[in-house]
Amino acid sequence: DDVTLDFCEPGKAKLKGQLEIAPSAAAPPSYDVIGKSNLEVTPGGKYRPPNCRSRHKVAVIIPHRDREAHLKHLLSHLHPILQRQQLEYTVYVVHQIHGSLFNRAMLMNVGFAQASLDNNYDCFIFHDVDLLLESDRCGYHCPKLSEHGRSNPKHLSVAVDKFDDVMPTYRYVFGGVSIFTREQFLSVNGFSNLYWGWGAEDDDLFLRTWRKGYKVDRTDTEKCSFRMISHSHDRDNPMSAMRYLLLKQSLQRQNEDGLSSLRYRLISKTRGRVFTNVTVDVGGPT
């Protein structure tokens, strides 16, 4: 931390409000182009405001496989927003190798663990690769440090415009984009590691969150709406047949299944021009 600088003033952030979103059918910019439009972002996809001290140290964690076009769209959209919001942040892309079913939740846990090895982030944003924010007045951060003690995890993607159709939201929805402080995420023991394939890992996290005495905060998220880039079901992410069974046992497992039982093989960790890439083998269902 540069303690010689004054804290950033939210009122001085140069926000734009409603944002333009390029049609997702358009070809995404290359990483090179994204880098050139974000010259203050340093290798690994890191940024800190040059003239003030950020109140937030954020790690953005994006689970990924075979969605590179979406990743480019997201990075080119998100980097400028996070800089305008005066955040100190790093973008982590956690990439699962081929060979088994996709495990979104486990990739989030890996992202948390790997980011924590790099820096003392106080805030973690778990972010689908295909969600584009529609207004930069939606804050990508945790409550202020002084409020951490009594704050709740946040669900940001309350309104998702899915392929020009509004996605049904239910009270316990927690997928898309969610935000935890370090303490909150440790307290719920992260995500479950057992959800292979599509579905319910986000509902599981919701239950874990309530079980540890938190509520899911959506109070200041009226400015947070998203556009989901059009996509079909991924070949290696079929709907999980086990998902409801797993969900039923969720709370009995919570303390043994999660960050505390996370095992994976780190294949590589590299600092790319606009993100830190963590490639992992998380195994497969046993």
Where does this chain bind ligand UD2 (CB under 6 A)?
63-67, 102, 104, 128-130, 157, 160, 175-176, 198-199, 201-202, 234, 236-237
Please say which residue, 8 or 125, places its beta carbon nearer to ligand UD2: 125
Is position 202 an interface residue for Mn ion (rule: CB under 5 A)? no
Measured at CB, which residue is nearest to ligand UD2? 175
Structure tokens that stand for 19 in this block? 């944002």
Tokens 């079913």 correspond to what residue? 101
The Cα–Cα gap between 262 and 76 comes to 31
**Which entry of Mn ion, ligand UD2, none binds 109, CB below 5 to 8 A by partner kind?**
none
The Cα–Cα gap between 37 and 227 comes to 22
Task: Please state the closest distance from residue 273 (CB atom) to Mn ion, in A.
Answer: 25
**Which entry of ligand UD2, Mn ion, none binds 49, CB below 5 to 8 A by partner kind?**
none
Task: Please state the closest distance from residue 150 (CB atom) to ligand UD2, in A.
Answer: 27
Task: Please state the closest distance from residue 162 (CB atom) to ligand UD2, in A.
Answer: 7
**Which entry of ligand UD2, Mn ion, none binds 106, CB below 5 to 8 A by partner kind?**
none
Task: Please state the closest distance from residue 128 (CB atom) to Mn ion, in A.
Answer: 6
# residues contacting Mn ion (CB under 5 A): 1
Measured at CB, which residue is nearest to Mn ion? 130
The Cα–Cα gap between 44 and 47 comes to 9
The Cα–Cα gap between 186 and 188 comes to 6
Please say which residue, 25 or 39, places its beta carbon nearer to Mn ion: 25
Please say which residue, 118 or 236, places its beta carbon nearer to ligand UD2: 236
Q: What spatial distance separates the first Cα and last Cα of the chain, rounded to whole Å?
A: 43
Helices 104-118 and 201-211: crossing angle in degrees, nearest 10, is 60
**Which entry of ligand UD2, Mn ion, none binds 237, CB below 5 to 8 A by partner kind?**
ligand UD2
**Which entry of ligand UD2, Mn ion, none binds 176, CB below 5 to 8 A by partner kind?**
ligand UD2
The Cα–Cα gap between 84 and 90 comes to 14
Instruction: Select from 183, 181, 202, 179 the least CA-distant residue to 250.
Output: 202
Please say which residue, 176 or 258, places its beta carbon nearer to Mn ion: 176
Query: Which residues are registered as beta bridge partners of 124?
Result: 59, 180
Contact mark string toward Mn ion, 89..128, x via CB under 5 A: ----------------------------------------
Strands 123-127 and 131-133: unpaired
Query: Which residues are registered as beta bridge partners of 227?
Result: 132, 161
**Which entry of ligand UD2, Mn ion, none binds 140, CB below 5 to 8 A by partner kind?**
none
Tell me how far CA of residue 40 lies from CA of 28, 47, 134, 135, 277, in angstroms.
21, 7, 23, 22, 19
Instruction: Select from 107, 255, 115 the least CA-distant residue to 195.
Output: 107
Which residue of 130, 136, 203, 257 would you call a contact of Mn ion, by CB under 5 A? 130
